[in-house]
Amino acid sequence: MVDLHLLKRTDCELLHCGRSSNAGSFAAALASGHAFEVQIAALYPGLGAKLPEVQRRMKGHVRNGWHRAGLHDALGALAAALTPQAATAFDAAAEPTQAATPAPVGPAQEEPGQASDAAEAAMETDATDKDADNERVRELRKHLEPCPYFEADKVTTVAQALRARLGNEAAARLLQGAKQSVLKDSCGKKRKVLKEGCPKGKAWRVRR
């Protein structure tokens, strides 16, 4: 039996509606290599077949099962797809313009291994247009230091250190939208590093 799940990112209002046999492992796979966590917001065992109907009702579709929507609205869409009574109330409350132009339906999300590249593309954090020495960069400098990119720590290492020092919420706010790049380390292995505010050829590492 495949379960229906609703997952949420800890750094912004992005929700993932999909199906899998293990929502916990699915969430961990989506968060792997990123400076945020993915948590289970709702789980409906054995109802994975309902996914297309749920996606038709959810607003703010981005791509690959991700929606920019509030948790309250998403849970309403789930309830509407699963129970006839809730569907009647949900449809009656919808605005006419929204009803006439339904949100596009994303592909049914299966196990992470089958769609990992597409999921990672949807999860990629947008870089800021300017790497000015702004408030965020000044805060980063309190806990991190710039270094040659091949000596930089992975984004996951940076995020773990910031969560330990600042707490989960503060660390997520600090890293939200921060510029990241995939670069090689001293052994030639590729990994994602934090580039926000660093000069060319450098990236961040945790202050020892």
Strand, coil or helix: 56: helix
What is the count of structural domains for the chain? 2
Structural domain range at position 192: 135-206
Cα Rg, the chain, nearest whole Å: 19
**Domain final residue pick, 94, 123, 152:** 123
Residue 154 lies in a domain: yes
Residues 59, 78: Cα–Cα separation, whole Å:
12
As a whole number, mean pLDDT of residues 105-118 equals 40
Residue 129 lies in a domain: no
As a whole number, mean pLDDT of residues 13-18 equals 88
Kindly report the average pLDDT of the chain as a whole number. Answer: 76
Q: How confident is the model at residue 162 (pLDDT cuts 50, 70, 90)?
A: very high
* Per-residue pLDDT at 107 exceeds 90: no
**Domain final residue pick, 123, 149, 175:** 123
Q: What is the model's pLDDT at position 144?
A: 92
Strand, coil or helix: 101: coil
Q: How confident is the model at residue 185 (pLDDT cuts 50, 70, 90)?
A: confident
145 and 90, same structural domain?
A: no
**Domain final residue pick, 70, 91, 123:** 123
Instruction: For residue 86, give Cα distances in angstroms to 1, 16, 57, 152.
Output: 24, 21, 12, 51
At position 179, the amino acid (one-letter code) is K
* Per-residue pLDDT at 115 exceeds 60: no
Residues 48, 45: Cα–Cα separation, whole Å:
8
149 and 114, same structural domain?
A: no
* Per-residue pLDDT at 150 exceeds 60: yes
Q: What is the model's pLDDT at position 157?
A: 92
Q: What is the model's pLDDT at position 84?
A: 59
Q: Is the pTM above the cut of 0.95?
A: no
Q: Which residue has the higher pLDDT, 162 or 87?
A: 162
